Amino acid sequence: MALARRLLGDPHGPADDHSGGLITAPKRYELMAGAAFLGRRRAAYDRLVGLAGVVTGDRVLDIGCGTGYLTRRAAAAAGAVVGVDPSPNMIAYARRASPPSCAFHVAEGRRVPEEDESFDVAVSSLAVHHIEPGQRAETFAEVFRLLRPGGRLLIADFRPPRGAIGSRFVGVMAGHAMRHNPVEQYAPAIAAAGFTIIDEGDLKPFLHYVRARR
């Protein structure tokens, strides 16, 4: 079992090598995420908010929000943001750490208890590889339902290292789902849900993003 699953997840929960599953230890997650971004987490997440084109007055959805770090960065630019995550521990932390402009649901990305076409922008960071592969198409379809026509989507996730040493390191530390994260399959899957792809690219230190329009 990878080190991250021991430290962050429920080691007695359903083991699934092909997704990161639920994270249940928010304080440890925050420590590890801060370390992984080498002090540049805020700058990276503000760049994601900028890439998503969030502007004042937008209603934003954050899928797999975890502790709500991106939710709060989006709220600073937008106004109202709703974060969803199936982990009650992560949502409890997010609620404590966030201002009233952020609301949260304990929910999977494929079943968000919100109205059709009720968001201007949807964002997600480091979360799709935590969703079981068989549920990702359903999740993108749910986001399509939730965005208004012309609404914008930004999915950012872990881009596995290409070199053998880096790849082995990620496997030992984080497990199969991160080591073999198929980010190149995201744009086709998002397009299959009905979105028009705008572009995709890499963001330092280890993110790959896809931007799309509903």
Ligand X SMILES: C[S@@+](CC[C@H](N)C(=O)[O-])C[C@H]1O[C@@H](n2cnc3c(N)ncnc32)[C@H](O)[C@@H]1O
Interface residues toward ligand X, by CB under 6 A: 22-23, 33, 63-66, 69-70, 85-87, 90, 108-109, 125-127, 130-131, 135
**Do the beta carbons of residue 179 and residue 208 sit within 8 Å?**
no
DSSP E strands in the chain: the ranges are 59-63, 80-85, 102-106, 119-125, 147-158, 196-203, 207-213
> Shortest distance, CB of residue 105 to ligand X, whole angstroms?
10
- Which of residues 21 and 151 has its CB atom nearest to ligand X in the complex? 21
Burial class for 201, CB neighbours closer than 10 Å (0-12, 13-18, 19+): exposed
- Which residue's CB comes closest to ligand X? 66
> Shortest distance, CB of residue 111 to ligand X, whole angstroms?
9
> Shortest distance, CB of residue 210 to ligand X, whole angstroms?
15
Q: Which two tokens stand for residue 69?
A: 């770090």
Whether the link from the prior residue into 205 is cis, omega within 30° of 0, is yes
- Which of residues 18 and 196 has its CB atom nearest to ligand X in the complex? 18
> Shortest distance, CB of residue 87 to ligand X, whole angstroms?
4
- Which of residues 63 and 189 has its CB atom nearest to ligand X in the complex? 63
- Which of residues 28 and 196 has its CB atom nearest to ligand X in the complex? 28
C-alpha 141/C-alpha 90 separation (Å) is 24
> Shortest distance, CB of residue 50 to ligand X, whole angstroms?
16
- Which of residues 64 and 175 has its CB atom nearest to ligand X in the complex? 64
In 3D space, the residue among 52, 151, 154, 61 whose CA is nearest the CA of residue 113 turns out to be 61
